Chain A
Amino acid sequence: MMTGRISKVIIFSAAVLILTGCFSKAVPDWQSTGFSHLESFKKEFLSGDDERASRSFEKAIVEIKKSGRVDILAKAYLTRCAVAVAALEKGECGEYLQIRDLLQDRKEDTYYAFITGNRGKVDERLLPEGYRPFFHALTVGSVADINKALEAMESPLSRVIAAGLSIKQGIFDETTIIMAIDTASYQGWKKTLVRYLEALKALYERNGEKARAERVQERINAMSLKK
């Protein structure tokens, strides 16, 4: 029974590998490993597994440094910075600033300006396409447009980053936070979820809606950040 299954697995894997192996050009080792570590970092950081997240990030940096590509290194640093914005934390962008002079492309600088809230230095055309409608709405200051842009975003992480930015800049409403909460909840990003719940609670408190704020607090308590 087991042997049958094993042989089937082998045949299957061989078929998959034959088919895929013949079709594609190999991605370099550093890139595929670096990518995996960076993906793990995002997930771990947003979920609240900070220790693992920092280990994954270090591993990703080690891999990327193997290639000597400053542009990709910059992207990794900016990723950490952006993910912190998503979790409503203060972004650590110091490492990016250390290497920014080595970059030739202005794209990274625009992204940096975008996630640090320096709207004046953002060149909308150089922003990743998914953020452009959001940025436009942010510049205009229309909360309704911001919410519409958030809803249209495909990437859940981008949506939460954008929500984080609008909250940091004070251009948001209940819907903005709820959209971020739903996204984080769907993705299982516990830390991020709790941060937005806290933000929602703060909003209710500011608005004097005590009962609703308490209900949010109960929800936070029920989950508790600790294991």
Chain B
Amino acid sequence: MPRNIEIKVGIFIIISVLLIGASVGYVAYKKDAFSKVYTFTFMSKSGDGFSEGMPLVFAGFKIGTVDTMALSDKGTVLIKINIPERHIKWTRKSSIFILERPLIGQPRIVVYTDEMDSPVLSTDMAPEIFHVDSIDEAIHKVQPLLTKIDRILDNVVTISSKLSQKETLMEMAVGDKESVSSVNEFLQSIDTMGRRLDTILSKVDTVIARTDQGLYGSDGLVVLLRTVLTDIIGKLDRLNSVIDDIPTVTGQVVRSTGDLDNLRKDIDDTIHAVQELLKDIDKMIPMKKEREINVP
């Protein structure tokens, strides 16, 4: 056999093998086949919607894959997710993990990480994966609450306008400087509350655009909203006690006007509505531990 045939075959085989090997190696590198993969355990109340091979996504990029799922002794579902070493930085202790099942397209687990200073997730933690089935369902759930908020805001507006009309009448009728100053304080506080609401509102767009924006921290929006509502309820409570005192001071004169009775009713309604809303928010704040009654 001529020697040049052997050389040609040799060159062919070497080049082909090198090319194929390089291509396979490149794809394997892109698939993180060479990087160390860590397995994290996640917890979910239900295994519904999870499947093996499901992607874990951060900012639209796949950073991990569901490896296995198992039912724990406590009845929760343990989900093991493989994450290559170079992607671990995206999963922090403060990250929120949500199972998204869009109406169209593949379901996926989305990581929301806001605080990059928070410590990196370690393999011995088992954070919970929350379910967000569809926006429709969520809106359906929240509809009655929306009506409540609407009513509260209406009442606050009514009260403030009535109070601004009645201020002088009350001063005349009551003759009690302290009560009147309480009413005034309330009127002023409407302004302060307005400003605080504005601060919150400046964050509204961000919240709607990015669901991970500081919802749960001590300065989180849920806590802020709660504080504002508590403030409203506190002021209204004080106003209520002022109005309680009015009849004793003024006797029949004021009662006969009927106006203050109506005002009182408005305030009662508002207090009740705000209290109900506060209860709802209290129940929803995901800091269950903090709501536990414990010795100080």
Contact = CB atoms under 8 A, between A and B. Distances in A.
B177 to A, nearest CB: 14
A16 B200 CA distance: 11
A32 B291 contact: yes
A9 B197 contact: yes
A83 B296 CA distance: 8
B77 to A, nearest CB: 15
Nearest to B201: A8
A72 B141 CA distance: 31
A191 B194 CA distance: 32
A14 B285 CA distance: 14
A103 interface: no
Given A18-B138, A24-B284, A26-B283, A9 B293 contact: no
B11 interface: no
B146 A24 contact: no
A157 B296 CA distance: 7
Given A12-B200, A18-B138, A75 B207 contact: no
Max chain B CB contacts within 10 Å: which of A20, A33, A82? A20
A2 interface: yes
Contacts of B132: 22
B138 A21 contact: yes
B215 A18 contact: no
B295 A9 contact: no
A35 B142 contact: no
How many A residues are at the interface, by size bracket? Answer: 35 or more
B149 A13 contact: yes
Contacts of B279: 29, 32-33
A18 B150 CA distance: 16
A2 B280 CA distance: 25
Max chain B CB contacts within 10 Å: which of A10, A12, A79? A12
A13 B284 contact: no
Contacts of B221: 12, 16
B188 interface: no
Interface in A33-78: 33-36, 38, 42, 64, 72, 75-76, 78
A20 B181 CA distance: 38
A10 B150 contact: yes
Interface of A: 2, 5-6, 8-27, 29, 31-36, 38, 42, 64, 72, 75-76, 78-79, 82-83, 86, 108, 111, 128, 155, 157-158, 161
Interface of B: 96, 130-132, 135, 138-139, 141-142, 145-146, 149-150, 153, 157, 194, 197-198, 200-201, 203-204, 207-208, 211, 215, 221-222, 225, 279-286, 288, 291-296
The 10 closest A-B pairs by CB, nearest first: A24-B286, A20-B284, A32-B282, A12-B204, A18-B138, A157-B296, A26-B283, A23-B130, A17-B142, A27-B291
Given A19-B207, A32-B283, A76-B293, 12 more contacts: A5-B197, A9-B153, A10-B149, A12-B201, A12-B225, A15-B208, A16-B221, A18-B135, A20-B284, A22-B132, A27-B282, A35-B292
